[in-house]
Amino acid sequence: MPANRVAWTPAGFTHYHRAHGDTDMRIAFLTPSLARLLPDHPAVFVTSGLAREVLLALTGPRSYDDAVPDYSRSARSRLLRVLVDELHEAREQPLHLPEPQDDRLRELARRLYENPADNSSLAEHARTVGASSRTLSRLFRNELGMTFYEWRTQLRVHHALVLLADGRDTTQTAHACGWSNPSSFIAAFTDIIGTTPGRYRASS
């Protein structure tokens, strides 16, 4: 997920995380009564300034430094409620890359994970994985809920987030992710992430 976002993982979902570049990650746990107010599926939210400050307060020195008085149970409960209220009102970040299950889609996905800059058409991929483009198009819709080109754009933006966090500039990242020019990359990145690659890199 991009920097300055909040990821929500409900109970019962197996998950893991991996950081790229310098990362400051904060974790807060919710009681079942508060968790019920948030989606029953993993989600990434665009956060408000208030939600960010509450999260920083909940995970700051009061939570781990014995020399700093901790919040009382009631105060911590109130802060968590504010955080949940803010997330409840926030929009989900449209950055989700579902994993395919069909063997042909998995092979196509593997190729694009290894080379996000691959600009082959769906028909060209279809010939490679042994299926018709119509079949692959239907599978993308039914399994992943998006078109091939929407999914590939999401994959490329995911890859771009890693490259930007590792210090690549906008032009290098655009070409590494398959965009022919930086302006089209900036437009696609901004549409999904909500900020330009340059601003994202500066804030990461």
pLDDT tens, 62-78?
Answer: 888 888 888 899 999 99
Q: What is the pLDDT of residue 144?
A: 87
Question: Exposed, middle or buried by CB within 10 Å (0-12, 13-18, 19+), for 2?
Answer: buried
Of 43-47, 89-93, 150-154, the range with the highest mean pLDDT is 150-154
Contact 189, 94 (CB under 8 A): no
Task: Write phi, then psi, for 66 (nearest 5 degrees).
Answer: -65, -20
Q: What is the pLDDT of residue 3?
A: 65
Which DSSP state fits 92? B
Q: What is the pLDDT of residue 128?
A: 92
Contact 9, 27 (CB under 8 A): no
20 has a pLDDT exceeding 80? no
What's the gap between Cα 186 and its chain centre? 17
pTM, two decimal places: 0.71
**DSSP track, 154-182:** HHHHHHHHHHHHTT--HHHHHHHTT-SSH
Contact 56, 25 (CB under 8 A): no
Mean pLDDT, residues 120-142: 94
pLDDT-derived band at 94, boundaries 50, 70, 90: low
Q: What is the pLDDT of residue 22?
A: 74
Q: What is the pLDDT of residue 18?
A: 78
Q: Which of 115-124, 173-182, 187-196 has the lowest mean pLDDT?
A: 187-196
Question: Exposed, middle or buried by CB within 10 Å (0-12, 13-18, 19+), for 146?
Answer: middle
The pairing of strands 43-46 and 5-8 is antiparallel
Gap between the Cα atoms of 75 and 187, Å rounded: 43
Mean pLDDT, residues 1-14: 84
Domains, the chain, in order of start with CATH, read 5-89 (no CATH), 103-203 (1.10.10.60)
Gap between the Cα atoms of 139 and 198, Å rounded: 35
> Mapping DSSP to helix (H, G, I), strand (E, B) and coil, where does residue 38 land?
coil
Contact 56, 4 (CB under 8 A): no
Contact 201, 21 (CB under 8 A): no
Mean pLDDT, residues 185-190: 94
| Average pLDDT along the chain | 89
Q: What is the pLDDT of residue 95?
A: 66
Task: Write phi, then psi, for 186 (nearest 5 degrees).
Answer: -60, -45
